[in-house]
């Protein structure tokens, strides 16, 4: 799913948004894909602990797909301890249970805590381990809590960018007010009850005239079914006008086309039709 509209970037992401800490990442292109996932979710602080490859390599820039600014501003650290030295709250992501007593959160639960902590002025970070092995026990021991993604227990393998995107999405959603569903009407408005009832009157009058509603016993139920059909459509003012035109054309346009042709005018033959006797 692609789409970038820079004219809609009205939200300002605070400097206190969680930092993403990649501990010993292996591949430059994975770091680039992480930057892309971060920017999708309004996260801009990237910290790198002893990466194996150059995070500004051409393959990393290409994988960032326009988010290479995050790579250029990324901060480099030799150790995990140095990367989180100025952080108040640290979360460690892992798919494996460790032999230590730690609070375990889902990405959604972690995002809610992060929102509260960031709002209180605390500096937060989420750590992700190397692609092949994940965080070490020593890295996890530095965190306040573990973030574990509830997925298919028989197969819960995620690549690095997917893991960052999952947590970043929950972070973004925790502060987003977009309704779960909305009708985009562009330059028109939803139809009023009066406009809808006017269309119902028009449609039912024509259906009475053509005989469709001729069964008096069934007519009330048929009318209700038709009305419910159009009610479910969430019609707009423009669509109501279009439907009025459709009903009018079906009635009056059909009559006009049924008129006999003027004297002397021959009905043209349809393509592919052969006259009797033609050979």
Query: Measured at the alpha carbon of residue 275, what is the angle toward residues 269 and 279, in degrees to the nearest 5?
Result: 135
User: What does the pLDDT average to over 96-108?
Assistant: 87
In this structure, is residue 7 part of a structural domain?
no
The verdict on 237 and 114 lying in the same domain is: no
Smallest CA-to-CA distance from 28 within 70, 91, 71, 69 is with 71
In this structure, is residue 41 part of a structural domain?
yes
In this structure, is residue 5 part of a structural domain?
no
The verdict on 128 and 217 lying in the same domain is: no
Final residue in a domain of this structure, among 126, 144, 174:
174
The verdict on 75 and 44 lying in the same domain is: yes
Give the model confidence (pLDDT) of 191-235 as tens digits.
999 999 999 999 999 999 999 999 999 999 999 999 999 999 989
Give the model confidence (pLDDT) of 42-88 as tens digits.
999 999 999 999 999 999 999 999 999 999 999 999 999 999 999 99
Owning domain of residue 142: 15-174
> Tell me, what CATH number does 210's domain have?
1.10.8
In this structure, is residue 209 part of a structural domain?
yes
The verdict on 170 and 253 lying in the same domain is: no
Q: Look at residue 270 and tell me whether its pLDDT is greater than 50.
A: no
What pLDDT shows up at residue 277? 43
In this structure, is residue 253 part of a structural domain?
yes
Domain count, the chain: 2
Give the separation between CA 203 and CA 198, rounded to whole angstroms: 9
User: What does the pLDDT average to over 3-27?
Assistant: 71
The verdict on 129 and 23 lying in the same domain is: yes
């Amino acid at each position: 799913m692609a789409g970038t509209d820079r004219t809609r970037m009205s939200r300002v992401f605070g400097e206190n948004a969680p930092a993403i800490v990649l501990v010993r990442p292996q591949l430059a292109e994975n770091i680039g894909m992480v930057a892309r996932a971060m920017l999708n979710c309004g996260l801009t602080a990237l910290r790198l602990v002893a990466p194996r490859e150059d995070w500004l390599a051409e393959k990393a820039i290409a994988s960032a797909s326009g988010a290479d600014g995050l790579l250029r501003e990324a901060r480099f650290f030799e150790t995990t301890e140095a990367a989180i030295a100025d952080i108040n709250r640290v979360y460690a992501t892992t798919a494996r249970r460790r032999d230590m007593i730690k609070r375990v959160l889902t990405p959604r639960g972690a995002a809610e805590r992060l929102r509260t902590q960031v709002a209180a002025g605390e500096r937060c970070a989420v750590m992700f381990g190397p692609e092949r092995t994940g965080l070490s026990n020593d890295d996890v021991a530095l965190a306040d809590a573990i973030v574990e993604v509830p997925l298919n227990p028989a197969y819960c393998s995620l690549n690095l960018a997917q893991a960052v995107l999952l947590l970043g999405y929950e972070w973004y959603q925790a502060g987003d007010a977009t309704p779960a569903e909305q009708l985009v009407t562009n330059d028109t408005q939803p139809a009023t009850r009066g406009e809808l009832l006017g269309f119902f009157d028009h449609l039912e009058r024509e259906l009475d005239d053509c005989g469709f509603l001729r069964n008096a016993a069934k007519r009330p139920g048929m009318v209700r079914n038709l009305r419910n059909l159009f009610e479910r459509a969430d019609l707009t003012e423009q669509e109501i006008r279009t439907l009025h035109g459709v009903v009018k054309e079906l009635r009056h346009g059909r009559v006009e086309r049924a008129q006999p042709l003027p004297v002397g005018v021959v009905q043209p033959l349809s393509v592919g039709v052969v006259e009797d006797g033609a050979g």
